[in-house]
Structure 1
């Protein structure tokens, strides 16, 4: 793990630079528009409002008795916000090295800075929105002890996004087709997760497929914390831990093998 450890030490030593770059990327995403940085929050907020209006108000759709809540809109909002945060951070982080190719060729900066910058900038958008779910769902969780799990769940989600985005950024530098493949997988991945429907609605013999999606465990954790006020089950933390461990191993291999060629690929 020496290659990845070296990158992480470099990130820590350059944490102020990472902070400056993160702020600049966050501000640059909507620079020049009348609404400014408000456009960072409007799309996810409008999406959440549309889910509530269509599923809970207009059609008043209901889930089965085994769901953590019977309201479809309330259920999907809890899963969709973390999914949007994951998809945004992963996609932007995956493209970060390609976008910074010219800078890396001129400056001997650690490559890890750029996926870290993209993932942290994305977290500046979605972390306050996910935090707002805690008081918004007060009637569901009644501030049970499980609601405190939202913070560690989101911290682990950000870490997962960084590891995955950095791995994909290295692979995309070597093979540009990775960008198209991952874009497609992110578009269909929401259907292979408990975001739209509870896991109990999937055929039991195929339920294991959900665990192949890195966001299934975090989404189930948010649902348990926000919809029932219960601490997520041990298997949820275990699956997240396995995903993090696998990504650490794969990323270390990718970083060590691409160390001498990465700039040339870009």
Structure 2
């Protein structure tokens, strides 16, 4: 298993240029035919953020959280959730979308879910820069902790990879997988402390929310932009997250490998 994993990483590095070209083409193709084209990848999340800003800052006049404006506290948590949401939804359909490649004998199909992650990452990089911009507008200077967000981006990518393999392969044989993923994401949005301040909750409830691996990511982005806490200070949650991530990575890879010979028939 470990030899196969290292061989996979070696092949991935070897084919990195091909993966990048495939991801760029996928990113462009996603919005081809629409008037605004790839701008939709950025317009939709920006409009959502603008709505939240208007509702909570102007409408409800939400109180600051830990001496930070609510919108500043909210955006660093919402941006990684958008990334995660995009990865899972696109992974559920990627093998259908590229079925002509799946049916090619020599094509490494396992690269398709990764391509979707890279494609979504293009947008995510923009929104990380957008967070920097918003904090600058509010008078906060960029410091070294801001760049820590890229560590949590990497953690989210690795966590999503195993899930993407499992979801993409299972979707071929379980047609309702896309609907289940959408329902899971709706529940997960409210089960993840994006709107909630876990520190203000009952300890028993907070402990349950911390089981969610996205808690580590969301809290990490806030640590980077708001609380200025190095990632190595979250040692217990880091260990839990990476053990769970490694487990999901292995399970997802095994599921994909097991179903790979039957994917062409399922499509």
Query: What TM-score results when the alignment is normalised by the length of structure 1?
Result: 0.88
Q: Give 1:91 deviation, angstroms.
A: 1.2
CA RMSD of aligned residues (A): 2.2
My pick for the range that moved more, 249-258 or 179-188, is 249-258
Q: Give 1:9 deviation, angstroms.
A: 3.3
Alignment-derived partner of residue 252 in structure 1? 253
- Matched residue SS, 1:194: coil
Q: Give 1:107 deviation, angstroms.
A: 4.4
Question: Matches of 1:101 and 1:219 in 2, distance apart?
Answer: 34
Which residue of 40, 52, 70 corresponds with 1:72? Answer: 70
Q: Give 1:140 deviation, angstroms.
A: 7.7
1:129 is the counterpart of 2:127: yes
Question: Matches of 2:228 and 2:175 in 1, distance apart?
Answer: 43
Q: Give 1:5 deviation, angstroms.
A: 4.0
Question: Matches of 1:128 and 1:103 in 2, distance apart?
Answer: 29
Alignment-derived partner of residue 217 in structure 1? 216
Gaps (5+ residues) in structure 2? none
Q: Give 1:15 deviation, angstroms.
A: 1.8
The answer on whether the counterparts of 1:153 and 1:222 sit within 8 Å (CA) in structure 2 is yes
- Matched residue SS, 1:166: helix
Alignment-derived partner of residue 45 in structure 1? 46
Which residue of 108, 111, 115 corresponds with 2:109? Answer: 111
Question: Matches of 1:13 and 1:80 in 2, distance apart?
Answer: 34
Alpha-carbon deviations, 1:115-158, whole Å to 9, x = none? 11111111111211112212422458644543231111112212
Alignment-derived partner of residue 243 in structure 1? 244
Question: Matches of 1:13 and 1:79 in 2, distance apart?
Answer: 34
**CA shift in 2, pair 1:37/1:252, >3 Å:** closer
Question: Matches of 1:5 and 1:112 in 2, distance apart?
Answer: 14
Alignment-derived partner of residue 100 in structure 1? 98
Question: Matches of 1:165 and 1:49 in 2, distance apart?
Answer: 30
Alpha-carbon deviations, 1:3-51, whole Å to 9, x = none? 4444433332222221111111111121122222211111111111222
Question: Matches of 2:96 and 2:207 in 1, distance apart?
Answer: 34
The answer on whether the counterparts of 1:55 and 1:72 sit within 8 Å (CA) in structure 2 is yes
The answer on whether the counterparts of 1:194 and 1:219 sit within 8 Å (CA) in structure 2 is yes
**CA shift in 2, pair 1:221/1:191, >3 Å:** same
- Matched residue SS, 1:157: helix
Query: What TM-score results when the alignment is normalised by the length of structure 2?
Result: 0.88
Alpha-carbon deviations, 1:82-104, whole Å to 9, x = none? 10111001210232123222321
Alpha-carbon deviations, 1:224-266, whole Å to 9, x = none? 1111223242234323312321112212321332243233233
Alignment-derived partner of residue 61 in structure 1? 62
**CA shift in 2, pair 1:101/1:214, >3 Å:** farther
The answer on whether the counterparts of 1:30 and 1:39 sit within 8 Å (CA) in structure 2 is yes
Residues 188-227 of structure 1: matches in 2 within 5 Å?
188-227=187-226
Alignment-derived partner of residue 230 in structure 1? 229
- Matched residue SS, 2:87: helix
**CA shift in 2, pair 1:264/1:248, >3 Å:** same
